[in-house]
């Protein structure tokens, strides 16, 4: 068995404050430790289940959050900013199953802890072939396009509900329940890590529980931005259409281009928006 693990940070055990997920912020170093512990709970389960290869992608922000000195030494870690496939860098047809750890609900989800889609301030909404899409849908569709099912999603209650909406009866582990965007009822780390590990062990032993989110091409990615300036700047990318004062669309038969373009758009949006922060 070969496993790909994509680890975001907003859905990680114990975290609710944007400062805990931003380099230099109060609590960030502890946040990195908790993120690494969530990842290790899955990695350990994979190797205990007989995995021969586990590739882990640091999928949050600059991609330099997972503690390289604390991550399970048996895995391979993909880290660093501006990875071409961003959250899915390292995933390929070599993989039997993907696991998404520390994921969050899409933008605007009630009681979704740190809810957003791709960018916390600049993006208001994302659609894929006309359906509202968060990062869970986008990453599940990308994996399915490579023939890879999703085995497990961990995050807050809202993220787990979104995962089941997208993937059906996929296994999930909720490590916190949001009362608002920045507040939640938390499962303490020791227990949360046991929950993640036990769920992963069960999932790796039961391939019939793995789920795919197949989307037929052509793929149309739509984004509603928070400003006309960002939309107009993103329109200069070849193939991108301005469909409204603050909306852009792009259509392709290659889902790699969808994921890659989101990365390019977010780079443009970050510069044009001049926010310097991920959350408002």
DSSP label of 68? T
Q: Which helix (H) or strand (E) holds 221?
A: strand 219-225
**Confidence label for 185 from pLDDT (cuts 50, 70 and 90):** very high
What number is the average pLDDT over the span 80-107? 97
Band (195; pLDDT cuts 50, 70, 90): very high
- Classify the C-alpha dihedral 115-147-84-75 as positive or negative: positive
Share of the chain above pLDDT 70, in %: 98
CA 72 to CA 254: how far, in whole Å? 34
The three-state DSSP-derived secondary structure of 114-170 is CCCECECCCEEEEEECCEECCHHHHHHHHHHHCCCCEEEEEEEHHHHHHHHHHHCCC
Would residue 51 count as lying in a domain? yes
**Least confident range of 18-22, 60-64, 73-77, 276-280:** 276-280
Question: What is the residue-averaged pLDDT of the chain?
Answer: 96
Q: Could you tell me if residue 166 is inside a domain?
A: yes
User: Is residue 10 predicted with pLDDT exceeding 50?
Assistant: yes
> If you average pLDDT over residues 263-270, what whole number do you get?
94
pLDDT digits (tens, 9 = 90+) for 201-255: 999 999 999 999 999 999 999 999 999 999 999 999 999 999 999 999 999 999 9
Residue 67: which domain range? 2-118+135-209
Residue 280 has pLDDT above 90, yes or no: no
The residue among 52, 82, 58 whose CA lies nearest residue 70 is 58
Give the pLDDT confidence score for residue 274 in this predicted structure: 60
- Is residue 18 included in any domain, yes or no? yes
Q: What is the pLDDT of residue 279?
A: 40
pLDDT at 275 over 80: no
- Which CATH number do you get for residue 40? 3.40.50.10780
Q: Is residue 8 annotated as involved in ligand binding?
A: yes
Report the distance separating Cα 223 and Cα 206, nearest Å.
37
Q: What is the pLDDT of residue 167?
A: 98
Domain assignment of residue 264, yes or no: no
Query: Is residue 278 included in any domain, yes or no?
Result: no
Q: Of 84, 101, 118, nearest to 155 (Cα)?
A: 101
At residue 273 the predicted structure's pLDDT band, cuts being 50, 70 and 90, is: confident
Whether residue 277 has pLDDT greater than 90? no
Q: Which residues contact 24 (CB under 8 A, 6 or more apart)?
A: none
104 annotated as ligand-binding: yes
- Is 50 a member of any domain? yes
For the chain, percent of residues with pLDDT exceeding 90 = 96
**CA 239 to CA 237: how far, in whole Å?**
6
pTM score: 0.96
* Number of structural domains found in the chain: 1
Q: Which residues are catalytic?
A: 116
């Amino acid at each position: 068995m070969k496993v790909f693990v994509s680890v975001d940070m907003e859905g990680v055990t114990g975290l609710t404050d944007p400062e805990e997920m931003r380099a230099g912020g109060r609590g960030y170093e502890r946040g990195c430790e908790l993120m690494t512990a969530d990842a290790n709970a899955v990695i350990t389960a994979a190797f205990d289940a007989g995995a021969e290869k586990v590739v882990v992608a640091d999928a949050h922000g600059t991609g330099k959050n997972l503690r390289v000195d604390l991550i399970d030494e048996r895995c391979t870690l993909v880290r660093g900013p501006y990875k071409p496939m961003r959250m899915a860098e390292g995933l390929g047809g070599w993989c039997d199953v993907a696991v998404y750890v520390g994921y969050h609900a899409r933008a605007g989800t009630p009681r979704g802890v740190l809810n957003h889609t791709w960018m916390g301030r600049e993006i208001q909404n994302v659609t894929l072939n006309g359906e509202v899409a968060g990062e869970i849908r986008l990453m599940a569709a990308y994996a399915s396009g490579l023939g890879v099912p999703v085995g497990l999603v961990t995050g807050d209650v809202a993220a787990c509900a979104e995962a089941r909406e997208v993937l059906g009866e996929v296994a999930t582990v909720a490590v916190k329940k949001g009362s608002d965007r920045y507040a939640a009822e938390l499962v303490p780390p020791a227990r949360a890590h046991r929950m993640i590990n036990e769920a992963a062990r069960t999932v790796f032993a039961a391939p019939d529980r793995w789920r795919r989110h197949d989307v037929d091409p052509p793929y149309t990615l739509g984004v509603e931005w928070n400003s006309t300036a960002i939309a107009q700047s993103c329109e200069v990318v070849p193939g991108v259409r301005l469909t409204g004062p603050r909306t852009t669309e792009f259509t392709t038969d290659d889902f790699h281009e969808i994921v890659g373009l989101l990365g390019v758009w977010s780079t443009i949006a970050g510069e044009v928006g001049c926010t310097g922060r991920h959350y408002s």
